[in-house]
């Protein structure tokens, strides 16, 4: 004889994985950026950049992320848009890369949060920087971002 036992599970202790932390506003994120984070992308441009990153992440070689990968491909001569995270500590690990971008005439800007860059790539981890290359699927958005990045005030 097989006996079935009914058990009641108390799920009040179990954490729900889908619960998100309260969203921090753009202005709050700006409080955590470091001093070299210039030019900082405005709120509207930041949203467009994240949208472009999301589209580029669907194509295998059109998005380079992380310090080593971006640095290697910039050295090899790849072009595109470079997006840096503004809340990087210590800043010594990436403070030379904006100068590299200026030398190679590659448009770049900073966004307030590295976690948001990672979220745009559908990753749970943050990313210090990304290099987005042009693709026909998002060319219009890419060109709009590129034109806006060039008009941002350059650091002194």
What's the 3-state SS for 66-128?
A: CHHHHHHHHHHCCCCEEEEECCCCCHHHCCCHHHHHHHCCCCEEEECCHHHHHHHCCCCCCCC
Q: Is residue 24 part of a domain?
A: no
Overall domain count for the chain: 1
Tell whether 27 is covered by a domain. Answer: no
What is the extent of the structural domain holding 109? 36-153
Kindly state whether residue 4 falls inside one of the protein's structural domains: no
Q: How much is the mean pLDDT over the chain? A: 88
Q: Tell me the average pLDDT across 83-92.
A: 94
- Please indicate whether residue 9 or residue 85 has the higher confidence score (pLDDT): 85
Residue 13 banded pLDDT, cuts 50, 70, 90: very low
Please answer whether residues 99 and 67 qualify as being in contact, where contact means their C-beta atoms are separated by less than 8 angstroms: no
Q: Name the more confident of 128 and 8.
A: 128
Rounded to whole angstroms, how far apart are CA atoms 129 and 69?
9
Indicate whether 145 pLDDT > 70.
Answer: yes
* Residue 5 located in a structural domain: no
Q: Would the pLDDT of 55 be above 60?
A: yes
Please report whether residue 89 resides in a domain.
yes
| 126 occurs within a structural domain | yes
Nearest to 85 by CA among 52, 27, 126: 126
User: Mean pLDDT, to the nearest integer, of 129-151?
Assistant: 96
pLDDT at 1: 57
pLDDT for the residue 84: 97
Which pLDDT score, from 0 to 100, does residue 23 have? 80
Residue, of 3 and 90, whose pLDDT is higher: 90
Asked if residue 14 is part of any domain, the answer here is no
**Residue 88's CATH number:** 3.30.1330.30
What pLDDT was estimated at residue 63?
Answer: 96
């Amino acid at each position: 004889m097989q006996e079935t036992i009914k058990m009641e599970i108390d799920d009040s202790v179990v954490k729900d994985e889908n619960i998100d932390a309260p969203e921090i506003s753009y202005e709050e994120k700006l409080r955590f950026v470091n001093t070299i984070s210039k030019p900082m992308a405005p709120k509207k441009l930041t949203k467009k950049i994240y949208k472009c990153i999301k589209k580029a992440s669907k194509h295998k070689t059109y998005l380079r992320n992380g310090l080593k990968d971006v640095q290697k491909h910039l050295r090899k001569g790849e072009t595109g848009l470079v997006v840096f995270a503004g809340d990087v500590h210590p800043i010594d690990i990436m403070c030379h890369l904006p100068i590299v971008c200026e030398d190679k005439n590659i448009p770049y800007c900073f966004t307030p949060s590295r976690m948001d860059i990672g979220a745009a790539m559908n990753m749970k981890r943050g990313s210090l920087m990304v290099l987005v290359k042009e693709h026909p699927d998002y060319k219009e958005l890419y060109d709009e971002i590129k034109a806006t990045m060039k008009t941002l005030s350059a650091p002194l």
